[in-house]
Copies of this chain bind each other. A is one copy, B any other.
């Protein structure tokens, strides 16, 4: 039912890790304590109106902003007469490779859906959020918006028509993410990929994807660890990330189950069993970049079991 007494909602729009080593373009996971804060309010004026963005210098015009574009796509499908106002406290840095645009797009459509009394399921919201991704990187991919909306691990089986599986999340899994503050353009990260791969490497990759999915259902951390391998994308893309090899070695030393490039980089992620190991891995990764002049952010976060979370109803 529509929440008519409620003026708006404050929500947490989570960051996410796409690809997860072997699962290029299909796998993603949602992060618990990295994300944007957003306020979505009803507006008398039809359309999407972004009134404030804190923390980042991003366009307020709805048509040029991923949140705006996602919201407009949703209103177009539901009721173009409606209007919403959006305020964003942007904690995820655009271009960091942990789903900054996906968080804004997912938060917007989830928030509007909440205020409208949930006419759409979370899965049904994904295509709207994907329109935000189309603006951000030229293609309407789902590997970050799916985990941001559904939580946990997700698999994009197909994008046309869209077919997404929500996968289970082993409870003790914790991610460590280091963001070296250098720019890797998504376009460049795409360009370095070879258009063809050997059948042999492709077979290894789909063996690992299948095993990784099984490991999530079985809560088999050892199998998960063995599956976190990428013989195709990582070797090509890692050349864009300074000290990648050293960071990976540090993750291993710290006891991580595996590590790789988060999305199209430059962030590097590791998955560990338990918070204490994830913290050790953070220490080890940090030591690598501290010996350089590259500024960085570092995060330790459990996998978030649900997507966008609603913090409070706004009554004014």
Contacts and interface: CB of A to CB of B under 8 A. Distances in A.
Interface string A201-212: 011111111111
Given A210-B209, A213-B214, A157 B226 contact: yes
A163 interface: yes
Nearest to A166: B214
In this complex, the member of A24, A203, A205, A210 whose beta carbon has the largest number of chain B beta carbons within 10 angstroms is A210
A26 interface: yes
A165 to B, nearest CB: 5
Contacts of A24: 203, 206
Given A209-B210, A212-B210, A226-B163, A26 B199 contact: no
A207 B167 contact: no
A243 interface: no
A163 to B, nearest CB: 6
Interface in A184-224: 193-199, 202-214, 217, 223
B163 A214 contact: no
Copies of this chain, how many? 2
Nearest to A158: B207
B26 A214 contact: no
Contact of A207 (B26, B196, B204): B26
A249 B27 CA distance: 32
Contacts of A195: 198-199
A151 to B, nearest CB: 16
B22 A206 contact: yes
Contact of A217 (B194, B202, B217): B217
Contact of A214 (B155, B194, B204): B155
B157 A202 contact: no
A72 interface: no
Given A197-B202, A210-B213, A214-B217, 4 more contacts: A157-B211, A158-B226, A194-B199, A202-B232
Q: Which 3 A-B pairs have the closest CB atoms?
A: A206-B206, A157-B211, A202-B202
30 contacts: A22-B206, A24-B206, A25-B203, A155-B207, A155-B210, A155-B211, A155-B214, A157-B207, A157-B208, A157-B210, A157-B211, A157-B223, A163-B211, A163-B226, A165-B211, A165-B223, A167-B214, A195-B198, A195-B199, A196-B196, A196-B197, A196-B198, A197-B198, A206-B206, A206-B209, A206-B210, A209-B209, A210-B213, A214-B217, A217-B217
